[in-house]
Structure 1
Amino acid sequence: MDIVENATSILDYTAGLDRQAFSGNRLIRDAVERCLERISEAASKLGSTAETLLPHHPWRHIRDLGNILRHAYDSVDEEVVWSIVTKQLPALIIDARNAAANLPDDT
């Protein structure tokens, strides 16, 4: 599942970093933003299935984030990105893995 794969990559890239180290590492920030774009695109492709499978996540915001990262990249708030990485992605990974494990094998 693209969401789990990219979210896990983000956590791998940022492991051991604090907010300041994240802010000071452009390569990691760029990689994180690219993975967030992929998560946003995967959420768009899932459509309403995302809300059905994982109703406790802000899917509209996840989809909108991709547009911000693609079109308003010069005004991306690093604090918001860091908050997503540290507060939202861990739960999303757990919930998405659980949802995938409960899907029938033919999906």
Structure 2
Amino acid sequence: MPSRPWRLRIQDILDAITPIQQATVGISYEQFEQMEDLVLHGILYNFMIVGEAAVNVPDSIQSRYPQIPWRSMRDMRNVMVHEYFQVNLERMWRTIYEDLPAVVAMLETLLQQEIGEE
């Protein structure tokens, strides 16, 4: 039995994305790479939560929502945890600005649809 219901894992993803977006709102890549290490580490930590929570969403849910980048979330977490010396700040910044807004919208839709089917 999972340690946490999958719906809470989806909420964990959303809750981890919020501080990432709040810490980076309206900043350029140059400003991002000059952030204090403590802030960058907080962002990295929240990305790790995103990936770990994504791993724990059942395959049955993931297959019903293939547009959500489950694999990318897991892979990014794996790099940050296991290949931490290869973390690419530019890629992370692009993910924040180019990918996270759509991921948030898709996850919110997923929760609404799944709750509506109960």
TM-score by length of 2: 0.81
Partner of 2:25: 15
The CA distance in 2 between the partners of 1:23 and 1:5, in whole Å, is 23
Q: Which consecutive residues of structure 2, in runs of 5 or more, have no partner in the other structure? A: 1-10
Give the RMSD, CA atoms, in angstroms. 1.9
Identity %: 24
The CA distance in 2 between the partners of 1:50 and 1:8, in whole Å, is 22
Cα 1:17–1:27, aligned 2, differ >3 Å: closer, same or farther?
farther
SS for the counterpart of 2:79 is: helix
Checking the alignment, whether the CA contact within 8 Å between 1:50 and 1:59 is kept in structure 2 is no
Larger Rg: 2
Runs of 4+ in 1 over 2 A off after TM superposition: 49-54, 104-107
Match among 5, 22, 44 for residue 55 of structure 2:
44
Q: Which consecutive residues of structure 1, in runs of 5 or more, have no partner in the other structure? A: none
Task: Name the amino acid aligned to 2:102.
Answer: A
Partner of 1:4: 14
Checking the alignment, whether the CA contact within 8 Å between 2:51 and 2:74 is kept in structure 1 is yes
Partner of 1:90: 101
Question: Any idea what the Cα deviations from partners look like across 1:30-55, whole Å, max 9, x if unmatched?
Answer: 11111110000000000324523431
Partner of 2:87: 76
Partner of 2:76: 65
SS for the counterpart of 2:99 is: helix
Residue correspondences, number: 107
The CA distance in 2 between the partners of 1:96 and 1:14, in whole Å, is 20
Cα 1:15–1:29, aligned 2, differ >3 Å: closer, same or farther?
same
